[in-house]
């Protein structure tokens, strides 16, 4: 089902609507014309004196006057002025589907998602300072209809029979405007109706609205339902409490923390600041931060009265909800996966120095298994016991993370701090093979480390980098087989604990690392020496030979059965040619290393796989410094059509395309992946692989 309008931005670009809004602003100053020509109806009495008032509507402006009609009390633009959004024609088939969807969502076990939206409806939302005089509230209704609900329906991300939507208007109290509705075109039309009839007024009190949102979210606690709390306001809270704004700030954060602690990764919180630059949005920021502190996905998005930014915010949060919904779906896509209800460790909790009641203690027999070239290799753990914290301190896309320690016969912790990772889904616990869930993670991490070794060698071969470039290292992981009193024999994936304060994800477009001081001061100038014409030609010959072999091997893709790629060297030997160099000056820094590694893995495996979603900590105490990484994603491109060779997060060719759609090569990237052309007229030429990357991306589906 298509509509003429596809986004808030296109609607506001209408010349006709812009003219109507300008005319409205002129008429707003003409009260006499409104009294003479407008429509009159009784207004709400004065809240202090009870005196009668009149309400006049004229030229898309509403005026409120005293009983005699001589004094203007207030005025505001009529809802929807200058915004022409057509409602969708509802067919009999749509009505039948809507009725069927209502029956489906009556059973809460059928829900795959529940979105609860809180929209500020205070008096300030009547201001006309968006895009040539659009009222703030009107812009929100249009964006919510077109860019959130409409977009999901157009691309097929929403399913009316399983996806649910609720809406709260935030005034002096929280008012539920739409209660647990199917996400369909009828909901879309209802949002368009709000554009025409909803009138902002009074204060915008955060706490009552959050209480209403909490009740709606808690109404369905099925572990397979993805949740989104979207909270939009144009300013600070209007709550009038004895403790002032500081108490409101604290109450709002506590409410969100309670939700995040309960739902963890299933919940996404989006706090949208839709107000003028300079407005105070500390409470909105606290809401987003509170959700992240307790294991949920929190986003603070500033959209300073900008239609494009508001549309982008709704679209982004819609995409996040879709990703969460996908995580909660089993591999075959046949049903939703239920999440285990495990208590979370309070934020900032101190590490225990000894065994306490907050730990599970496991005694012999304990077996340690490691993933090797021939599969699992096992050995018993002698003279030791192990302990695992009862509370979770981290949650990933697939797994729960708890603190883990070795315990000696005297009950004291020994050895380094460790973490234990286990599935967060109930269905995985019933798998008869206790190591099966962990095998794909061990296989992925082992494969990533093999590529990291090749990358480290390639970087150290670049002139001037042997003792300065950072190393990439993936943590070694093992599976401990223990006996749990409640679950029986279980497997726990155990690895070194990285410093939580330094744990980062390297996922930005340019490979930069957010707020890690070590990277901000660790620039590494490097002189890259290109070879002479003769040496370049030789490198090219070797490269052609190697590439020929690689191309042949790609035709045998998947014959080994385990998804392992051929690890063949690229033309890095050319980097070692220091004679007759052109003394080109090349600079790169630590921030370039992670994404340069990702690009390297793609080229080094002859475009079969790409290691990305890099996360971990930089150990700057070593020289050269080391990126200690864990839980990577490998996207594997299979010519025989095998999917998810490296687990649920392996998106194959689509994942590779997604990486290169935002990747921007650094100088390190270019040096590692350059390719040489035959010399022309005595001049050495070289071309970087990424120069033709855009063309390659267009034809990915046709390549091996």
Residue that is written with structure tokens 């490691």 in the block: 370
Lowest mean pLDDT among 291-295, 360-364, 522-526: 522-526
Could you tell me if 165 and 115 are in contact, meaning their C-beta atoms sit under 8 angstroms apart? yes
Nearest CA among 116, 135, 117, 134 for reference residue 126:
135
Q: Let me know whether 120 and 197 are in one domain.
A: yes
CATH of the domain at 551: 3.20.200.10
pLDDT given at position 470: 84
**309 and 283, same structural domain?**
yes
User: Is residue 540 one of the residues assigned to a domain?
Assistant: yes
CA 30 to the chain's CA centroid: 49
In a domain, 410, yes or no: no
* DSSP state at residue 19: H
What pLDDT is recorded for position 277?
A: 86
Report the pLDDT value the prediction gives residue 317, as an integer from 0 to 100.
Answer: 92
Say which range, 50-64, 150-164, 402-416, has the weakest mean pLDDT.
Answer: 50-64
What local confidence, expressed as pLDDT, does residue 686 receive?
A: 40
Tally the C-alpha atoms within 13 A of residue 132's C-alpha that lie toward its C-beta: 17
pLDDT at 78: 64
Q: Which domain holds residue 553?
A: 455-473+498-702
> For tokens 């009265």, what's the residue?
305
Query: Of the residues 327, 346, 369, which one is the last residue of a structural domain?
Result: 327
Domain identity same for 27 and 126:
no
- Whether a cis peptide bond, with omega within 30° of 0, leads into 624 is yes
- Structural domain contains residue 403: no
Looking at 296, 327, 358, the residue that finishes a domain is: 327
User: What number of residues does the chain have?
Assistant: 704
Give the residue, 596 or 19, on which the prediction is more confident: 596
The residue from 22, 45, 77 where one domain ends is 77
Contact predicate 668/592, CB 8 Å: yes
Average pLDDT value for the chain: 77
Q: Tell me, yes or no, whether 583 and 679 share the same domain.
A: yes
2 part of a folded domain: no
Q: For residue range 519-577, what is the model confidence (pLDDT) as tens digits? A: 433 333 333 332 332 333 333 334 343 343 443 333 344 444 445 554 444 444 434 44
pTM above 0.85, yes or no: no
Per-residue pLDDT, 564: 53
Alpha helices in 279-306, H assignment, sequence order = 282-293
Q: Where are the alpha helices (DSSP H) in 106-166?
A: 136-143, 151-155
Structure tokens at 574: 């050319």
Q: pLDDT for 645-703, tens place per residue?
A: 998 889 899 999 989 988 989 888 888 877 544 444 444 434 344 433 434 443 334 33
pLDDT over 70, % of the chain = 72
Residue 308 to residue 502: CA distance in whole angstroms: 34
122 & 148 share domain: yes
Rounded Cα distance between 489 and 481, Å, is 7
212-268 pLDDT, tens digit per residue, is: 999 999 998 777 889 999 999 998 888 765 555 677 788 899 999 989 888 888 899
Domain shared by 527 and 603, yes or no: yes
Structural contact between residues 55 and 41, judged by C-beta atoms closer than 8 angstroms: yes
Q: With respect to residue 340, please indicate whether it lies within any of the assigned structural domains.
A: no
Q: Report if residue 154 sits inside a domain.
A: yes
Together in a domain, 57 and 111:
no
| Whole-number pLDDT of residue 111 | 92
Output the pLDDT for position 436: 73
**Whether 470 contacts 625, CB under 8 Å:** yes
pLDDT confidence of residue 378 = 84
Q: What is the pLDDT of residue 518?
A: 41
User: Over the stretch 30-56, which tens digit does the pLDDT of each residue have?
Assistant: 667 777 778 888 887 887 788 888 888
Is the same domain home to 147 and 223?
yes
Q: How many other β-carbons are positioned within 10 Å of the β-carbon of residue 498? A: 20
Q: Is residue 482 part of a domain?
A: no
Among 532, 516, 631, which residue's Cα sits nearest to residue 582? 532
Number of domains in the chain: 3
Co-location of 96 and 73 in the same domain = no
Shared domain for 165 and 263, answered yes or no, is yes
Which CATH number belongs to the domain containing residue 309 in this structure? Answer: 3.40.50.410
pLDDT of 243 reads 54
Q: Angle at Cα 593 formed by Cα 587 and Cα 596, nearest 5°?
A: 95
- CB neighbours (10 Å) of residue 342? 14
User: Of residues 380 and 12, which shows the higher confidence score?
Assistant: 380
173 domain-assigned: yes
Of the pLDDT bands very low, low, confident and very high (cuts 50, 70, 90), residue 294 is: confident
- Given a cut of 80, whether residue 140 has pLDDT beyond it is yes
- Segment 320-355, tens digit of pLDDT: 898 888 777 654 445 566 667 677 776 667 778 888
Check whether 616 has a pLDDT greater than 70.
yes
Does 207 lie in the same domain as 58? no
Q: Percent of the chain beyond pLDDT 90?
A: 30
Does one domain contain both 162 and 18?
no
**Predicted pLDDT of residue 220:** 86
Provide the sign of the torsion angle of the four alpha carbons 146, 149, 152, 154, taken in this order. negative
Q: How much is the average pLDDT of 199-205?
A: 88
Cα(322)–Cα(397) distance, integer angstroms: 13
pLDDT digits (tens, 9 = 90+) for 63-122: 788 888 777 777 766 665 556 678 889 999 999 999 999 999 999 888 999 999 999 999
């Amino acid at each position: 089902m298509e509509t003429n309008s596809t986004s808030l931005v296109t609607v506001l670009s209408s010349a006709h609507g812009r003219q109507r809004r300008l005319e409205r602003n002129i008429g707003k100053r003409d009260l006499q014309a409104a009294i003479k020509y407008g429509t009159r109806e009784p207004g709400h009495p004065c809240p202090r004196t009870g005196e009668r008032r009149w309400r006049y509507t004229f030229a898309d402006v509403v005026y409120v006057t005293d009983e005699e009609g001589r004094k203007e009390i207030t005025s505001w633009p009529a809802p929807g002025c200058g915004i022409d959004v057509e409602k969708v024609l509802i067919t009999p088939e749509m009505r039948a589907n809507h009725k069927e969807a209502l029956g489906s969502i009556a059973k809460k076990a059928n829900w795959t998602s529940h979105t609860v939206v809180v929209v500020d409806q205070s008096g300030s939302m009547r201001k006309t300072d968006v895009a040539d005089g659009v009222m703030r509230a009107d812009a929100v209704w249009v964006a919510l209809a077109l860019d959130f609900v409409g977009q999901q329906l157009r691309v097929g991300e929403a399913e009316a029979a399983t996806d649910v939507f609720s809406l709260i208007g935030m005034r002096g109290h929280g008012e539920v405007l739409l209660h647990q509705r199917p996400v369909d075109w009828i909901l879309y039309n209802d949002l368009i109706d709000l554009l025409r009839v909803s009138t902002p007024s009074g204060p915008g009190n955060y706490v009552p609205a959050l209480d209403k949102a909490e009740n709606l979210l808690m109404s369905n606690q099925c572990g397979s339902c993805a949740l989104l709390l979207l909270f939009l306001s144009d300013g600070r809270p209007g709550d009038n409490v004895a403790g002032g704004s500081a108490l409101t700030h604290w109450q709002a954060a506590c409410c969100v923390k309670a939700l995040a602690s309960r739902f963890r990764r299933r919940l996404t919180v989006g706090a949208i600041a839709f107000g003028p630059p300079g407005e105070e949005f500390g409470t909105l920021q606290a809401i987003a931060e509170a959700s992240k502190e307790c294991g949920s996905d929190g986003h603070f998005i500033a959209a300073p009265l900008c239609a494009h930014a508001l549309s982008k915010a709704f679209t982004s949060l819609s995409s996040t909800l879709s990703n969460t919904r996908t995580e909660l779906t089993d591999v075959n896509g046949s049903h939703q996966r239920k999440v285990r209800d495990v208590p979370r460790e309070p934020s900032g909790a101190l590490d225990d120095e000894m065994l306490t009641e907050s730990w599970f203690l496991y005694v012999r027999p304990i077996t340690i298994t490691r993933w090797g070239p021939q599969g699992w290799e096992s050995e018993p753990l002698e003279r030791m016991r192990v302990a695992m914290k009862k509370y979770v301190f981290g949650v990933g896309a697939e797994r729960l993370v708890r603190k883990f320690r070795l315990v000696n016969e005297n009950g004291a912790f020994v050895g380094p701090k460790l973490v234990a990772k286990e599935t967060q889904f109930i269905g995985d616990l019933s798998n008869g093979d206790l190591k099966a869930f962990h095998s794909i993670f061990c296989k992925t991490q082992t494969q990533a480390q093999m590529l990291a070794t090749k990358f480290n060698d390639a970087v150290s071969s670049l002139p001037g980098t042997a003792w300065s470039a950072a190393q990439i290292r993936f943590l070694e992981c093992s599976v401990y087989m223990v006996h749990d009193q409640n679950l029986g024999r279980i497997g726990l994936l155990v690895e070194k604990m990285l410093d939580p304060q330094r744990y980062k994800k390297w996922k930005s477009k340019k490979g930069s690392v957010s707020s890690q001081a070590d990277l901000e001061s660790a620039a590494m100038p490097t002189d890259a020496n290109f070879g002479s014409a003769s040496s370049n030609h030789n490198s090219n010959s070797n490269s052609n030979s190697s590439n020929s072999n690689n191309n042949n091997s790609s035709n045998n893709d998947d014959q080994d059965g385990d998804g392992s790629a051929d690890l063949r060297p690229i033309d890095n030997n050319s980097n070692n040619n220091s004679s007759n160099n052109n003394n080109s000056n090349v600079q790169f820094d630590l921030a370039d290393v992670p994404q340069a590694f990702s690009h390297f893995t793609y080229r080094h495996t002859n475009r079969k796989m790409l290691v990305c979603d890099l996360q971990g900590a930089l150990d700057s105490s070593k020289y050269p410094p080391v990126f200690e990484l864990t839980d990577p994603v490998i996207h594997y491109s299979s010519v025989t059509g095998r999917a998810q060779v490296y687990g649920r997060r392996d998106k194959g060719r689509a994942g590779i395309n997604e990486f290169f759609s935002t990747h921007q090569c650094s100088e390190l990237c270019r040096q590692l992946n350059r390719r040489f052309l035959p010399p022309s007229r005595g001049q050495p030429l070289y071309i970087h692989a990424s120069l033709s990357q855009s063309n390659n991306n267009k034809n990915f589906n046709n390549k091996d």
